[in-house]
Chains A and B, each alone.
Chain A
């Protein structure tokens, strides 16, 4: 594990050309540098180890897992466990694998993402450009509300969705995701719209454009970046949700995370660790793909939630 030695070897790939801070393009092998990279590599191993274990275990056979060791690479990598996890692993009730959960998650994530982002974008726009009496108070409560543990509101929401006749359906989960996505997304859009030049809005007002026209023809075309951030935030957030899925979706609509937990934690018989890990990888695949493809945008999304206006 001496990656310290390999790092200087990759010198030509000059990364971090971001900001020029201080002045010392000095020798590379100072003790300080060596220590710095050792610590960083040590932490990187901690972060990477589970990913490595997840992947290698999922590609092994059960005997290999039982008699081998957790560090070893699979001798003959096979995707059998992946197929089993996808289509025939048992959850204690049924043996249809993760596939139904995957599609449920898709059916939950897509509408929830679209609805919650649209509502939050309109909210943010109204909060910045069309303030009305009390709008800031509502916004403050919304932000404070985002810190309240979900358990506090869970039971009344069950009763409300039951009254509406949607408890135990996809609509209920979508509604709940829209509600609890609202604080962070509204904050995001509000801050973004506030950063746009107000002259644009005023000019449109003078020309006689109304609320919706300005929103669709001026604000939306300018807010692609924040939409990307919101999209990343919502797709990963909703995909990873467990609590709302388990409470509101109903047995047939359980999202992938709930299915995964059922496969691993409530299946009877001898546990098949390769199948379990394959199922875990499969469930993590969507957010991981979003993460690696979006790169900097994910960081922006994560930080945007924390840096308040």
Chain B
């Protein structure tokens, strides 16, 4: 990179052969001072706090994190707790549906928007505005819409469609779909924006060539355009995926984990054990499991970004 030349050259002209300590502490001082918040954040929060959490998840900490080392006890208890298992299962079920639907709907909307339509910016504005709202607002609006007596179900029954049922929010078997409707409302617009950027990054020549070869449009999308959008797709998966693992506010606002424990999620389990359950070890073990999940999502991405293919700067 050419721009490193300037500071390096400066260092070389000042001291002939700087020793290691000098290089670390005396060279380029203002930049290091300026970067102090970043360095501190990385070391204290992203390395220190994470390591702390992992370490203390192996202790029997109850009200205070002072416990002694107990190996995998917390994890064994974690997976013996039905509430945690329900949470994990919910996350897997909700997460896979949410990921697939967000990507598919986001892509379809982007393709539709990309057809040189009229009122493109109006449609875009309408699709993206939910993303500007908080999960709390999202959850509360949908809670009201799905209110069994006065919401959509009550209204349509009142209008004469007596068999209409839309009580997902109060139905343990369907509550995840209620969550899904609200989650998709919030996030698909964002995915559409990403996909649209990807679609518009595809060279016009590709489309011309495909047209000349007589390849049908849908085929061009599936076999040529989507593979070319790999970068955007992977990014979308990572961002949406890590957002799903974090899912918390929406559940709190929409169902608060109910009915019963049927819409609990790991983030909520962790939060409750840390701050009101008085069992920190459990909370930390749950948090470590969440970290593990994110790592599993991110490893393929990191591989694509930094391994193999060389980076795209």
A residues neighboring B (CB under 8 Å): 7, 10-11, 13-16, 18-19, 21-22, 36-37, 39-40, 43-44, 46-51, 53-54, 57, 65-66, 69-71, 119, 122-123, 125-133, 135, 138-139, 141-142, 144-145, 147-157, 159-160, 178-179, 182, 186, 194, 198, 201-202, 205, 210-212, 236, 239-243, 247, 257, 260-261, 264-265, 273, 276-277, 280, 283-284, 287-288, 290-292, 295, 298-299, 302-303, 305-309
Contacts and interface: CB of A to CB of B under 8 A. Distances in A.
B65 A159 contact: yes
Interface string B145-179: 10100111011001100000000000000000000
B26 to A, nearest CB: 11
B86 interface: no
Contacts of A265: 140, 252-253, 256
A153 B134 CA distance: 22
Nearest to B184: A46
A123 B141 contact: no
B42 A138 contact: yes
Interface string B96-129: 0000000001001100110111111111111111
Contact of A261 (B120, B129, B253): B253
A290 B3 contact: no
Nearest to B249: A242
B197 interface: yes
Contacts of A308: 235, 305
B79 interface: no
A309 B313 contact: yes
A309 to B, nearest CB: 6
Contact of A148 (B253, B256, B291): B291
Given A57-B144, A145-B45, A182-B37, A48 B271 contact: no
Given A53-B141, A264-B140, A186 B45 contact: no
B136 interface: yes
B50 interface: yes
B127 A283 contact: no
Interface string B60-104: 000001000000000000000000000000000000000000000
B27 A132 contact: yes
B298 interface: yes
A16 B220 CA distance: 23
Given A157-B45, A306-B239, A260 B136 contact: yes
Interface residues of B, number: 113
26 contacts: A10-B118, A10-B119, A11-B118, A21-B116, A43-B127, A47-B127, A47-B185, A47-B189, A49-B145, A131-B31, A132-B28, A149-B246, A151-B283, A151-B287, A156-B52, A157-B45, A186-B38, A210-B30, A242-B136, A261-B140, A265-B253, A280-B137, A284-B134, A295-B121, A295-B125, A299-B193
B47 A16 contact: no
Contacts of A57: 144
A233 to B, nearest CB: 11
A209 to B, nearest CB: 11
Contacts of B130: 47, 50
Contacts of A139: 38
A251 to B, nearest CB: 13
B229 interface: no
The listed residue with most B CB atoms (<10 A of its CB), out of A44, A69, A309, is A69
A10 B50 CA distance: 56
B23 interface: yes
Nearest to B24: A133
B204 interface: yes
Nearest to B256: A265
Given A70-B152, A150-B246, A201-B3, A16 B144 contact: no
A207 B271 CA distance: 55
A242 B252 contact: yes
A125 B30 CA distance: 12
Given A36-B112, A69-B155, A277-B144, A303 B194 contact: yes
B127 to A, nearest CB: 6
A126 B305 CA distance: 23
B209 interface: no
B35 A16 contact: no
A299 B37 contact: no
B132 A141 contact: no
Given A202-B6, A243-B249, A70 B145 contact: yes
A160 B40 CA distance: 13
Given A40-B112, A141-B47, A151-B248, 5 more contacts: A40-B113, A69-B159, A125-B34, A257-B137, A265-B140
